[in-house]
Structure 1
């Protein structure tokens, strides 16, 4: 999983994408809008934000900075229904690095990124050397109906 391979998979899936910078690093942003009756008739706007940190150490502070900038990007660039009115935003924040702190791994697996008003932030770390993906292991209570979709999206980018 690299930003280039993620971009190619977004294209193959017909997901809109663009290039930008997040945390002053080149990033790929994917955007998908879906409406499902199974989601209690809500619209989910999912942003996939992938950034290659090369060998920079990924810590919980780095994850939080990435999530914050990614979520701010989505708030600036989202023009759909107002959040909370049958509409939510999901931000899948993918950090790619060969140097990952153990606490950062746990942060992703236990989904400690917190909640936003009508929004979700999902941290994911990918280590290209070991091919390990660190992502949430259980669907949280808040937003439980969306997390199988988030997992499917993440897995489709591997």
Structure 2
């Protein structure tokens, strides 16, 4: 599978999971959904999933994409952030290859602003691995299991797709 094939797979999974999806040429995809949960202390989370493709993922490139994704999400859906509403982002860069530093960034970093956060993820098709946080930060911890479930549902590990119908 190549980067655009994986991105198409994510597109299909976003639609199946109830996201509103739009593309931003040449190689970006954005999914959006809004969820309210009492267990989140009766808050609404505006979750955006930004997916881009590149031949080679670097930590610096992932950091820039994650910041840009969070900034976009705040502009698009974060006007009333605060006590009862927040913005979450999963920023995904799919590459043929990824630096070790890019994987480390995805495994350890959460980008935060007031009532807004972003979890970066890397999909390295050559290494057949997806890297993202396995546990969330203490600030915003109420959303951790939801974020983890969304990443697992939308971004399959590439090695699980070998020899299988990914859709």
Fold-level similarity (TM above 0.5): yes
Whole-angstrom CA distance in 1 between matches of 2:41 and 2:120: 25
1:50-89 paired onto structure 2 within 5 Å: 50-53=51-54, 55-56=55-56, 58-78=57-77, 82-89=80-87
Whole-angstrom CA distance in 2 between matches of 1:146 and 1:3: 25
Pairwise CA RMSD of aligned residues? 1.6
1:63-142 paired onto structure 2 within 5 Å: 63-78=62-77, 82-111=80-109, 113-142=110-139
Whole-angstrom CA distance in 2 between matches of 1:85 and 1:132: 37
Residues 31, 48 of structure 2: 8 Å contact kept: yes
Whole-angstrom CA distance in 2 between matches of 1:19 and 1:114: 23
Whole-angstrom CA distance in 1 between matches of 2:118 and 2:18: 22
Structure 1: tracts of 5 or more residues without a match: none
Whole-angstrom CA distance in 1 between matches of 2:53 and 2:111: 23
Whole-angstrom CA distance in 2 between matches of 1:140 and 1:74: 19
Normalised by the length of structure 2, the TM-score is 0.84
Structure 2: tracts of 5 or more residues without a match: 157-167
Extract structure 1 runs of 4+ deviating beyond 2 A: none
Tell me how many residue pairs correspond in the alignment. 151
